[in-house]
Structure formats: structure tokens, C-alpha cells
Chains A and B, each alone.
Chain A
Amino acid sequence: MKFTPTFCVLCALVISLAKLSAAHPMGNFSINHYARFEARANALSLRYILDFAEIPTAQRMPQLDSNGDGKIEGDEKSAFLRAESAALAKNLSVEIDGKRVPLQVLSSRLDLHPGAGGLDTLRVVIEYNVAVSSGEHRVSYRDDNFRGRTGWMEVIAVAGKGGAIRDSSAATVDRSRGLTVFPADAEAVKPLQNSATFTMTGATGASGATSGNASATASGAAQPNPNPASPETQTPAATSGSATPQNRFTQAIAERDLTPGVMLAGILISFLFGVAHSLSPGHGKTMVAAYLVGSRGTPRHAMLLGLVVTITHTFGVFLLGLATLFATNYIVPERLYPALSAASGLIIFGVGLWLLMSRWQMLAAQQHNYSHSHDGHGHDGHEHSHDGDHAHAHSHDHDHSHAHGEVHSHGGKAHSHAVPEGPVTLRTLVTLGISGGIVPCPEALVVLLAAVKMHRIGYGLLLIVAFSIGLAAALIAIGLVVVSAGQRLSRLDRFSAGGKLTRYLPIGSAAIITIIGIALTLRAAGGAP
């Protein structure tokens, strides 16, 4: 059997179709709870989400499909939501300054998603408004719905426009992104919080409290972490370090209503995040710069190196996403990250070491064979070699001086006495590029997985491509700046071809690449992605 690319793609598709019917990540009888409070100047809102896995959805189906025809019509949904919103509110206790207050339903929606075994999973989202007067209030919350049933239980309290939260026992970090992403590893313990207390204040009286800003309320989606959580406001879950990466890029996939404007904004945000992300640690910026400086790369090389990093990075996201979705029984992404990081580090180390050794050998060979001084001397007809590839015999009967590295000619053949940096080979460029981009960033992976989970695969891919283009643009720009700066510097005497600095620059750049490789490998060995 031939493992052609087409065959592999087909296999991946078959596997993906099979796995898409996998059961709910929190177990097929779980009921998962999510409550997100947002305090504003004179208002408190509560977004309450219940996510029913396959079996509890099947249990509720007779109420949902009231006429029993196997189809859920619009009026059945409405009737179910009316009854459900009221029934759920009975078991949701919100007290303001010790007095229970009614919950006013602002909006509600339900979605059925295909689960395992031909069964659906049910997701109910209800937006409640809690009437509060201005000033400071102590809020107590308790959720007694489906007590005893296993599942994820998360309570979040964040500040919105003109509001502030303090003395909170609720989390500030949205770990599950509104019950769309469930960390699965053993060290990410699911939260079981069904109650919380916090103090909310209006903006004017918010001294010492974390206050919200306009951007926190601009979007209806849950905010990643509008207030940097102080230790006393962090729940164990929030401090566990297992939070899913969150920013405007990862949120873009979760926007509720995908209008063309929202999509365009999402793509633009993803591009900008790609640019910004390339400037964060990793992705081989230093390595790109060091290599291009040391090997006297051209703008073409800079573009090629940037593109290879980006393409590898994008493929890395897709591959790890596929591994996460379809091979979780065999490959644990949390294990794969350090392995990829270590592989990347080792490759960079290997390339750096190879460059260092070859350039050092060339320097040594040059110094060995070139046993005379060029500092204002005369040549008297001896033979010498500048390096193995560049041996020639020549005779001078004139008096001149030239610095090492300076390009000069002895009879028509131009050459330099600087440490030869070796040619910029395609193989080296691609190897370095792959090693720089092999570790995909968690944000892009989150977007991919959320896209699959939310059945927005096309949009998710678009966001990742935009992110990657941003990444490429930034890396290429860095490369071009480095190349351009190198060319300008080479015009100065100190950096001219014969200068000492220039002579040892290739060795320095190779050493930097080697050190980057060692640092990345050690970092990966220490467990950092």
C-alpha cells in the first residue's frame, strides 16, 4: 500500500469523521455549569450557561420535543426556554446585601449539537439582569440546579463599564470559555464552584477595587481577564496555571453573531495578533537575525526564512490540532509541546554548532595558511592559500596594503580575507526556518479547537491563516531590517569587509544560534513549551 498524500488526507478525514462523534469531554452524563457576573455602574448581569451531555439531554428530550415527533420546532424551543428559565432561576440564589433578589430574564437561547451515538448535547444560555442601585453592594450567589450531578462548575465575576469587583471568591479567569473548551489533563482539575461572594461598586467609589473599562463591555463574549487577579481573588482553578490561552485572537472565534463586519474585524485582529505574537519570545526572531547577519543574507533570504518559519508554524498548528482532536488516546498534546520544543532547540543547536565549527575551521585554516601580514607590507612572490576552496598562487611586485576582509584582487580574482561565512544554502535556510516554526503557539491551537467545537471550521481556518500572515509579515520585516542594517553598516570602516568586527561576526552569529539552541532545549527540558 502506498501512503500517498491523498491517501493520508483521506485517512485523516475518515478518522476525523469517526472521532467527531466522540462523547462529551466531561463525560456523557455530565451537566456543566457556568455563571459569569459582570458588574457595571448601576447594573449587574449574569450569564448562566448549562451544558448537558448526551444522557441528560436524552432525559430532557421529552420536555423539549413536546409533541414527540422527533423534531425540535421553534415554538417547542420557546416553550422549553420559558419553562426552563423560570425553573432554573428558582434554584439560583442571588442576594444583594443579604436580601434575595429576583432574576429578570433578558434573553435565552438553546442549541442542540450532535454528540455521540446519534444523540444530541444541549446547551442553554440565559442572560439575567439583577436589579441593583448605585453604590457598593455585597453579592452572594449560589447555584442549586442539578446538585450532585458531576460536571464542570465555574463562577466568574468581572468588572464591566463603570463597575468594579473586589473581595471576590469567584474566579476572574474564564477557564472553559463559556463551556466550549475543557482542559483534559490530569493536572487541570475541573472547578466545582457553585457559589461565590463578591463586592461590587460603581466606578466612582471603586478605590482599591479592580475596575472595568470600555473594552470590557464592548463585547458580549466573556473577557479573558480584565482585572489581573490578585491572590485573594483567584480561585484554586484560576491559580492552577492551566487556564486556556485567551486574548482577542482566541475570542474572535467565539463571537456570537458572525456578521461580515465582525468576521472582518476578527481577521484583522488575528493578523495583528500574528504580528504581535511574532515579537513574543520564540519563533526564531533572534535566530533569523543572527543567521542573516552572520551569513550576509539578502532580502530574498530574509523573505524565504520568514516564509518557512510561518508555513511550518501554520502546519504545526493544524497537525497538533489534528493530534488533539483525533489521536488523544495516543498522543497527549501537553507531552507533544515539550517534545516539539526540544526538537526545535536541538535542531537549532545542531545547525548553530555546524556553522560555528565550519566557520572556525575556515578561520583557523586561513590563519594557518596565511602566514604573513597584510598591514602595509610588500608581497615578494610567495605562494599562499586563503582557504581550501580558494587556493591560488600569485606574486606581487607592487607595494600596497589592504585590510583582511576587504575585497581585493590579485590578478583578476576578487576575494576577501574575512572569515568566510559560507554560502547561504537553501538547506540551511529551510532547516532553520522549520526549527523556528515547529512549535505551534497555544493561541492558534485554541482557535482551531474552538472552531471545530463550535462548528465554525471555515472561519477558524481563516483566522489562523490571517494570524500566520501577520506572523510572516513581522518575521520578514525583521529579516529585511537586519539585512538592510547589515548592508548599511558594511559601508562603515569598522564594519567594512576587512574590519576585525566583521571578521569575527560570522563566528559570533553562529555562536548566538548555538546558544539559542541550547537555551530552547533546556527550556523544553524544564517543561516549558
Chain B
Amino acid sequence: MKFNTKTRRLLWIPVFAALVGSAAWAFVAGRSPSRLAALSQSAPVAQRAPYDPNAVHSNLVFLARKAKGDVGDPITRAMLARTYLESYRETGDAADAVRAEAAARASLAIRTRHNGEAWMQLAGSLLAQHRFPEALAAARRATPYSDQAYRQCAGLEIEIGQYQAAERDLAKSPPRGEDPAFLALAARLLEVRGKNADALALLQEAASQADANLDMPHQSVAWFHERLGHRLSSMGRLDEAEQSYNAALKVFPRDYRTMAALARLHAARNDWQHAIEWGDKAAAIVPAPETFALLGDAYAALGQASAAAGQWKLVEQIGALARSQGAVYDRQRALFYADHNRNLQEAVTLARGELRLRKDIYAHDTLAWTLFKAGKLAEAEAAATRARAMGTQDATLFYHAGSIALARGQRDRARLLLSRALEINPTFDPTAPRRVRAVLAQLGTKSTP
């Protein structure tokens, strides 16, 4: 078959078009490998590797050896600090946070300028030790080198109640592509402002982004799910919260924080056996006082007074341990004492100490609750008002404020506040909602179920 010149020229058109199309497709596919994988049905879908409990430790050993081999290496020491912090987040071992601080300081001793990573790790280690002002100062030193440091500043400012400064700093570190850390911080600020639904949406997006990021450490992915679980739980959506907690444990099976959260969730359902089961699992890894307190409540609810007393005694002993080490702030212990009507003067002292260190809404709330229990109602009311000054829609804040109002004889105000607590979260506490309903019934208000 023979083609004339004109036909041959026409035949080149589809060939050329095919070449251009192929090149364009290859370019796009090359830039976006995940999309290529999605398009190609036969390509295997990448999955997160199972959690390796020895991975962080192996990294620590490697980096420590490398650091020992080169006494003038600031980068390895900053990486060592980062890895110690990773270990701390996995194990809850405060000694790892102290070692992270030592490694970061060693890095900074070698190179103070242009060492943003070490400043950030130092800030992280100080945060883990609740040394907030020092942590913020260290994070601020890192800002010339990394806009991630602004985000760290924002996180710290939220912890100490400087919410407007946190919003400003967060704005200086806008999200880059899929950025679950940004979303989680933004959600926290929305929660403080009382925008719970918006915060939930951001946290859901953050959790799915964390799931998609296969390079993210297991405990970090689990943290996003745990955080989402907390949000759902504080809105009374316990079944969804449980799913989120289970997702966290699937990624990071030894997540003692999520285990403790599941214990609280079951306690909120008054499912005491499961609460004890999860509480025991969490305490076997990290024996935290709040977990023992919850276990004590669970045993008490089951009528096992002796077992309950044993758990509460452990909380007291940990308190003695903390006192011996000079701790003058501890909001968990302050709340435990107030909830259990014991050591009320110490509870107030602890709450005041906490407020000197951090002026966030929960520090004001803790002080309000301890003052209320200690019978200092006027001061308690002022503190409770400060706790809700940002418009935060947290059932516990309303419950505490309502209880104080009731004690001061402000029946209408109490009715309003207590009703609002149940509206926000009808399961905000294992036992308090029942009491609130009884009070509202007495006050003549029909509460939500």
C-alpha cells in the first residue's frame, strides 16, 4: 500500500499526539507516584509496617554510638535528643525526657547558632518536664531557623493559656500540603473558642491524613486517633470515640494513654469491669496516678471498698513521692483530692501552684473546683468565670460552674449551667451526670437524657 505525501503527513498527526500525550502522562505520573499507584489497579497498595517495639531503641543505640565517636558533632546530638523524645512518647519514661534535654544541650554547647533542630528538641524535652517558660524560650530561639518552631511556640502558648499569641504564631507557620499537626493545633484553638463541631471536622481530617502518611511514627499516628477519640468522647459520642481509640491501638498497641482513655470511656458508660481491664493494662505500662484514681473509683462502684482503698492509697503515695521531689503543682492530683474530698488544703495549694505556672482555662477550672470543695465559694466563682471566659464548651467547666452557683444559692444560674453541661456531653463523668439530673429535677428543669 502506498500513501501520497499529503496522507503521510496526516498520519504523523496521531503519532505526534500520542507521543505528546504519553510524555504528559509520564510527567504527571512521575510527580505524583501515589496517584499513579491509584490509577494502576495491579500495583500493590503500600501499607504501614507493623509496630516494631525495638526500632526507637535501636536508633538510640546507633546515634549514641555515633555521638560518642565524634565529640564535635551537634547534628547527631540533636537527632539523639529527638529520638529520646520519641522514646519518651512511647514509654512515658520521664528519664528519657531528661536525657533528651541533655543531648539537646550537648548539641547546643557545640553549636548555638544555626542549630534550630537542637533548640526545638530542647523545647520539646522541657515541655515534657512541664518546664513551660523555659520551653517557650527555647522554641523561640529556633524560630529564625524553622517556621515549624512557630508551631511549637503555639503549642506551648496553648498550654500556658496565651491563646491569642498561639493564634498569631500558628498563622506564621501555615500548613504545607497535608499537615495533620497544623490541623490538630488549629482544632485545639477552636475547642478553646467553643467551636467543637469545627474542631471535630479538623481532627477527623488530621487523623485520615496521619493514616495516609506511611512515614509518620506509629505513636504519632496513634496520637491523632487518640485526640479524635477525646473530642468525640467529650461530645458524648462514645461509640465513635471507642472506634477511634481502637484505631490508635491498632497502629501502636502499647499506647498506654489510649488504654487509659478506654478505661475512662468504659467508666463513663458505667461498664466498670471493662474500665478496670483497660486501667490495669495502662497501669502495667505506666502507673499514672490518674489511672489509679480511676481504678479506685471503678472498684468502689463495684462495692470492692478494700481494692478501691488500695488504689487510692497508691495515688496518695505517688503524691508523697511528688512532694518529696519538690512538686508544687499537679492539676491531676489537685482534682483527685477535690473529687474525693481529701487533702483539700493541699489541693488548693497545688491548683494555685499550677496557675502560677500555666494560666490556661483548665488551671482556672482546677482552682475553681478545689476552692469550691474547700468552701471558698466567692473565689471559686471568680475562677470558674475565668475558666469559661474564652467561651469553651466543655461540660466539666459548666458542671463545676453550675455546682458553685448552686452552692451560692444562684438557682437560675445553676439551672442554666448544669443544663448546658448535660447538653454538651451527657456522659461527661461516670457519676456526676446522675447527680446533675437529680439536682435539675429538684430545680424544676427537665434535663436532656
Contact = CB atoms under 8 A, between A and B. Distances in A.
Interface in B59-92: 60-62, 64-65, 67-68, 71, 77, 80-81, 84, 91-92
Given A117-B325, A186-B106, A150 B317 contact: no
A29 B287 contact: yes
A188 B67 CA distance: 10
A192 B54 contact: yes
Contacts of B64: 186-189, 240, 242
A504 to B, nearest CB: 39
Interface string B309-338: 010001001101111110000000000000
Contact of A23 (B54, B65, B321): B321
Contact of B65 (A25, A26, A59, A236): A236
Contacts of A28: 321
A55 interface: yes
Interface stretch (B95-103, B141-149, B242-250, B394-402): B95-103
Contacts of A240: 61, 64-65, 68
Contacts of B100: 186
A54 B254 contact: no
Contact of B285 (A118, A149, A239): A149
A55 B65 contact: no
Interface in A284-300: none
Contacts of A332: 102
Interface in A27-41: 27-30
Nearest to B109: A335
Interface residues of A, number: 38
A189 B60 contact: yes
Contacts of B322: 117
A150 B93 contact: yes
A119 interface: yes
Contacts of B321: 23, 28, 54-55, 116-117, 119
Nearest to B80: A186
Interface residues of B, number: 39
Given A148-B284, A150-B91, A150-B92, A186 B102 contact: yes
A224 B334 CA distance: 48
B190 interface: no
Contacts of B91: 150
Nearest to A192: B57
B94 interface: yes
Contacts of A132: none
A21 interface: yes
A119 B61 contact: no
A238 B95 CA distance: 21
Interface string B4-45: 000000000000000000000000000000000000000000
A258 B67 CA distance: 41
Contacts of A239: 65
B57 A189 contact: yes
B317 A58 contact: yes
A185 B102 contact: yes
Q: Per DSSP, are chain A's interface residues mostly helix, strand or loop, or mixed? A: loop
Contact of A118 (B60, B61, B310, B320): B320
Contacts of A62: 310
Contact of B325 (A25, A116, A189, A242): A116
A419 B285 CA distance: 74
Interface in A75-131: 116-119
A240 B69 CA distance: 10
A71 to B, nearest CB: 17
Contacts of B54: 192
A21 B320 CA distance: 12
Nearest to A188: B64
B432 interface: no
B286 interface: yes
A119 B287 contact: no
A186 to B, nearest CB: 4
Contacts of A117: 317, 320-325
Contacts of A25: 95
Interface string A516-529: 00000000001100
A237 interface: yes
Nearest to B286: A29
A333 interface: no
A241 interface: yes
A117 B319 CA distance: 8
A56 interface: yes
A187 B83 CA distance: 12
Given A22-B325, A150-B93, A527-B71, 11 more contacts: A54-B321, A55-B318, A59-B314, A117-B320, A117-B324, A186-B106, A188-B64, A189-B61, A237-B61, A240-B68, A332-B102
18 contacts: A21-B324, A23-B321, A29-B286, A59-B287, A62-B310, A117-B317, A117-B320, A117-B321, A118-B324, A149-B284, A150-B91, A150-B95, A150-B285, A186-B81, A187-B103, A236-B62, A240-B61, A241-B68
Q: Which 3 A-B pairs have the closest CB atoms?
A: A117-B321, A117-B324, A186-B102
